[in-house]
Amino acid sequence: MISSDKIPNNVDLHLNKRLQRALEHWQPAYIQWWRDMGPQGFQHFHEIYVRTAISVDAAGWAHFEYVKLPEYRWGIFLADPVVNRTIGFGDFFGQPVWQEVPGEFRNQLRRLIVTQGDTEPASVEQQRWLGHRCPSLYDMRNLFQVNVEEGRHLWAMVYLLHSYFGRDGRDEAEDLLARQSGNQDKPRILEAFNEPIDTWLDFFMFTMFTDRDGKSQLLSLSESSLDPLARTTRFMLTEEAHHMFVGDTGIHRIVERTCQLMKESGFSEDVRRLGGIDLPTIQKHINLWFSLSLDLHGNEISTNAASYFANGLKGRAEEGKWTEHRVIETTYDLDIVENGAVKREAVPMRNAMNEVLRDWYVDDCQSGVTRWNKTLEKYGFSDRLRLPDRKFNRGIGQFASIHTDPDGHMLSDDEWARRKYEWLPSPADKKYLLSIMNQPIYETGKFANYIAPPARGVNRTPINFEYVRTEM
């Protein structure tokens, strides 16, 4: 039943009895989950032009073909091993990496993997209705590409659970399919993954900002002392890059279209009248998704983060670029809230690892915003998009207890309640976005009015390629 042919892999699945047995139970449950909770309405009669990873080399992971979604060949891939790799940071710095999970860290590792793994199917669930509002077949294909790869990321995490965590791992793998985004009884672990993503602006923001948090996390896990985890996440990063490309260029294309509409109308206020998405609405969504994604990095001062680092389980992004890898004495300056006021404090850097990763993340986000602003500039507008202050709209960590405006100025509870929709999408904004998206565009080469076509098609195809075809 479980065949290497149906499940492309580079982990010798055909020789691995334990993994075969585990997957025999899990794989049918996964397919059922995909049908129930994956893209709704595009499972049986639609063939999507998607990329399937069939090996880890350049040719292998850019293999394109038309598939029906439930027949996608979700595979298991680890990046090639690095010979004689040693642990790159923490208390075990310089020792050989682990090929097995040490008993001592089994629970911590399991928690890390389950938390990461839980986000993968969660996002598929959050996005499952978007196909019905797609702005083009090109975008629909991108959505489904992201979705199947998030599904594969779940496979990657489940591979680790099945291979290294015994019965507990199998139970956790089942629970990853049992929890559901927004389900009251079995919600996804992280709160941000329990809200539906129902507009395409939100989808692009999610792939721009939240998938980028995924990238931060994967980067830090790809440094892990547990070699299979490091190799798995390293390969996932190649796919993650595409997800962020979808988000980054999606927003960029909306900005571009908005510029065109502004040019036509002369005033940005009229963009909505022309059926486009005005810059303030775009800015509000940046504010929302950036702040939500900052929360996903966790508390500024975290004992878990310190112990993950000490044990070599989870490092910093691009650890190799740092000069000191044990980080015993080093401190890190960060803002903390004390008695309702913000002040700067030095904390041991190990405890500040979440914030260190957040710094990397903020920089990475900024480069996208800078690109979008180039387009505003090109069209001759002085308006600029920007990332809000880190303290803005936070639900986790030091700043959860205070309110600020996007510049980081403190606000009273009253003022926040009164003004928050100046900076965050309001119900009216959402209503507007849904109104311009309620007619999906299924015609090849056509694009919704609020978004510009991409610069080029997928895999050197023309933009009017039939990325999704129906077979009746």
Binding site partner of 345, from another protein, Fe ion, none, Cβ cut-off 5-8 A by kind:
none
Return d(Cα 252, Cα 352) in angstroms, integer. 33
DSSP 207: I
Using CB under 8 A, pick the residue from 178, 417, 434, 455 that binds another protein: 178
Torsions phi, psi for 397 (to 5 deg): 95, -165
Given a contact cutoff of 8 angstroms between Cβ atoms, the answer to whether 110 and 87 are in contact is no
User: Which residue in this structure is represented by tokens 């940071």?
Assistant: 89
Listed ranges 277-285, 313-321, 343-351, 440-448: which one lies at the site for another protein (CB under 8 A): 343-351
Smaller CB separation from another protein, 175 or 383 = 175
Return d(Cα 288, Cα 286) in angstroms, integer. 5
Q: Determine the size of the site formed for another protein (CB under 8 A).
A: 24
Smaller CB separation from Fe ion, 76 or 279 = 76
Per rule CB under 5 A, is residue 211 in the interface with Fe ion?
A: yes
Per rule CB under 8 A, is residue 455 in the interface with another protein?
A: no
Per rule CB under 8 A, is residue 306 in the interface with another protein?
A: yes
Helix (H) or strand (E) holding 126: helix 106-126
Given a contact cutoff of 8 angstroms between Cβ atoms, the answer to whether 251 and 368 are in contact is yes
Smaller CB separation from another protein, 51 or 314 = 314
Given a contact cutoff of 8 angstroms between Cβ atoms, the answer to whether 309 and 90 are in contact is yes
Binding site partner of 440, from another protein, Fe ion, none, Cβ cut-off 5-8 A by kind:
none
Binding site partner of 319, from Fe ion, another protein, none, Cβ cut-off 5-8 A by kind:
none
Q: Cα 255–256–258 angle (5° rounding)?
A: 60
Site for another protein in 45-84 (CB under 8 A): none
Given a contact cutoff of 8 angstroms between Cβ atoms, the answer to whether 53 and 61 are in contact is yes
Question: How many CB atoms within 10 Å of residue 412?
Answer: 10
Using CB under 5 A, pick the residue from 162, 243, 316, 390 that binds Fe ion: 243
Q: Which of 276, 270, 284, 289 is nearest to 451 (CA)?
A: 276
Per rule CB under 8 A, is residue 328 in the interface with another protein?
A: yes
Q: Determine the size of the site formed for Fe ion (CB under 5 A).
A: 7
Site for another protein in 386-415 (CB under 8 A): none
Binding site partner of 314, from Fe ion, another protein, none, Cβ cut-off 5-8 A by kind:
none
Listed ranges 157-165, 173-181, 269-277, 386-394: which one lies at the site for another protein (CB under 8 A): 173-181
Per rule CB under 8 A, is residue 186 in the interface with another protein?
A: yes
CB of 212 to Fe ion, least distance (A): 9
Per rule CB under 8 A, is residue 274 in the interface with another protein?
A: no
Smaller CB separation from another protein, 60 or 187 = 187
Smaller CB separation from another protein, 329 or 414 = 329
Per rule CB under 8 A, is residue 110 in the interface with another protein?
A: yes
Distances (CA, A) of 324 to 93, 219, 320, 357: 10, 18, 9, 16
Torsions phi, psi for 112 (to 5 deg): -60, -45
Per rule CB under 5 A, is residue 125 in the interface with Fe ion?
A: no
User: Concatenated DSSP letters for 315-334?
Assistant: --TTGGG-S-SS-SS-EEEE
- Per-residue burial over 318-344, b if 16 or more Cβ lie within 10 Å, else e, is ebeeeeebebeeeebebeebeeeeeee
List contacts with Fe ion (CB under 5 A). 120, 150, 153, 211, 214, 240, 243
List contacts with another protein (CB under 8 A). 91, 107, 110-111, 175, 178-179, 184-187, 189, 303, 306-307, 309-311, 327-328, 348-351
